[in-house]
Structure 1
Amino acid sequence: MKRLFIALCMATVAIFGGSRLNAQTIFDTGVPENLFRFGVRLGFNTSNLTNNYDKVMSGVEWKDNQWRGGFNAGFVVDINFRNFFAIQPGAFIYTRKNDYHLLYTDGHSLSAINGTQKANFLQIPILASLRLGVPQLVQVHIDCGPYFAWGWGGSNKYKKYDSSTGELVVTNGKQPYFGDSTFALSDRYDYGLKSGVGVMAMEHFYVGAHYQYGFRNVMKGNGQKGHNKMWTFSVGYNF
C-alpha cells in the first residue's frame, strides 16, 4: 500500500504538474514492452432487469424494479498496440439479482406481487481501451465495447397477495429463469455494450467501474420486453 500511495503521488506530480503538463506524457504513443498482458479481476455488481409488466398485464396500478447485488470474477488479456491503446478481451462469471413489485386491481379489489429474480452468466467482453498517463506510474483506462453472455441456473421466485375473495390469500410461486419452455422467464443469450473507466498503478494494480446494458429483449413471455442492466466494480492484478 505504501508503494502504491507513493506511485499515485508521483504520477499526480508528473502528469498534472503545472508547466510539466504535455501531450506526450498523457498520450504516450510509445511501443509497449509487452504485446500481451494477462490480468485477473474480482469484484461486486448491482443489476436489474427491466420489464413492461404494466403494459402486458391488465389493471396494473404501480410497479417498481429494484437493483440487487452480486459478485463477479474473471480474467482479461491486454493486446497492447501502443502504450495509449489496447484491445482487451476477457471472460467473467457474474451472479445477478433484482427485485420487482406490482400492485394491480380487477376493478373491485387490490392484489400485489413481490418477486426476486436471480441468475448466473458467463460473459465475454471485447473492449477498446484508451489509456492516458505514464504506464510505469499510473494510467487511466477508458473502455468501451460489446459483450456476449450466456446464462444458466437461477429462478424467478414471487409471492402473490390476493384479496379478491374478501380475505388475504398468499401464494408462493417459482418460475425457471432460463429454459426452452414458454414458462421460462428469459432467453439464455444476451449481448450489449460495456463501458467504463479504470486506473492501473505501477502496471500491476487495477481498480475499475463499468456499466453494461443489454441490447437484446430477453423476456420470453408473450408481448413482454426486458433488458439486462448492470454496474460492476472490480479490483485486479496484471501479471
Structure 2
Amino acid sequence: MKRILVICSTLVLFSLGAKSQISYGVKVGFNASNVSNSDGKTLSGGHVGGLVNYALSKNFALQGEVLYSTQGCRYKAGEFGPFSLSLNSTLSYINIPILAQYYFTPGFYVEAGPQIGFLTSAKLDNYDPADNDGHAYKDYFKSTDFSGGIGLGYIFKKINLGIDARYTFGLSNIAKESDDKLHNKVFQLGVFYKFGKKK
C-alpha cells in the first residue's frame, strides 16, 4: 500500500512539474509590524529568504516562501521632559506562506493565501528574566503562528527582478498564557529576484 501511495505521489508531482514552469528566487524586504490588543506602536524590521514559484497557466501561479522575519511592536516606557523612552518587543519567526497568484498582465499580479510561522526568538529591551520568576521572554509566546496574507506585486520579466507589497494578519492568538488575544499584524515591502532564463 505504501509503495502504491509513493508511486501515485511521484506521478502527480511529475505531471505537475511537466505542465508547470518552476522558478526559484531570493527576496529581501522591510517590515512594519504591530501586535493587536497590546497597546503597542509600529516596529520596523525586515525579512529575507527564498521562494519557489509554480506557473500553472498564463494567469495563475502558486508560490511558496521560507522567510526569516523580525516583527513585533514598540512600547512607550516613559517620558523625560521633551524625550520619550520606548521598548522594542521583537519577535523573530521563520514564516512559510503559500500564496495563490493571479496575473492581470505578464508582470502585474495579486496574491492571497495562508502562512504558518515558527517563533525562533523573542526579545524585550532591558528585560531581565530574574525579575519575573526566571522565565525567558520567549516563554510567554506560542511557538507557532497562523496568519493570512494578501498582496500585490510586479515582476520585470526581462531582468527577473520584482517588487511586492503584502499584509499579513494573525489568525491565531500568539500569547501562551494570557486573557488578551494577541495577533501579529505585518505590512511588508519586498524585492525579489528569480533565477533562470529571462523572457
Normalising to structure 2: TM-score of the pair? 0.75
Does the 8 Å CA contact 1:155/1:175 hold for their aligned counterparts? no
Partner of 2:166: 210
Distance 2:120 2:168 in 1: 19
Does the 8 Å CA contact 2:36/2:184 hold for their aligned counterparts? yes
Partner of 1:151: 119
Query: Aligned-residue CA RMSD in angstroms?
Result: 2.6
Aligned residues: 167
Query: After superposition, what is the alpha-carbon deviation per residue over 1:119-139, rounded to whole angstroms, capped at 9, x for unaligned?
Result: 2110100000001213xxxx1
The answer to whether the aligner puts 1:122 opposite 2:97 as a matched pair is no
Partner of 1:177: 137
Can you give the 5+ residue segments of structure 1 that lack an aligned partner in the other structure?
A: 1-31, 53-63, 104-112, 160-171, 179-183
- What code does the residue aligned with 2:41 have? Q
Normalising to structure 1: TM-score of the pair? 0.63
Change (3 A) 1:114 1:70: closer
- What code does the residue aligned with 1:205 have? L
- What code does the residue aligned with 1:237 have? Y
Does the 8 Å CA contact 2:169/2:183 hold for their aligned counterparts? yes
Q: Name segments (4+ residues, structure 1) moved above 4 Å.
A: 172-175
Which structure would you say has the larger Rg?
1
- What code does the residue aligned with 2:179 have? G
Does the 8 Å CA contact 1:39/1:236 hold for their aligned counterparts? yes
Change (3 A) 1:176 1:67: farther
Partner of 1:142: 110
Partner of 1:10: none
Percent of aligned positions with the same letter in both sequences? Answer: 24
Change (3 A) 1:151 1:131: same
Query: After superposition, what is the alpha-carbon deviation per residue over 1:43-76, rounded to whole angstroms, capped at 9, x for unaligned?
Result: 1111111236xxxxxxxxxxx4211111111111
Partner of 1:88: 63
Can you give the 5+ residue segments of structure 2 that lack an aligned partner in the other structure?
A: 1-17, 79-84
The answer to whether the aligner puts 1:78 opposite 2:53 as a matched pair is yes
Distance 2:163 2:19 in 1: 22
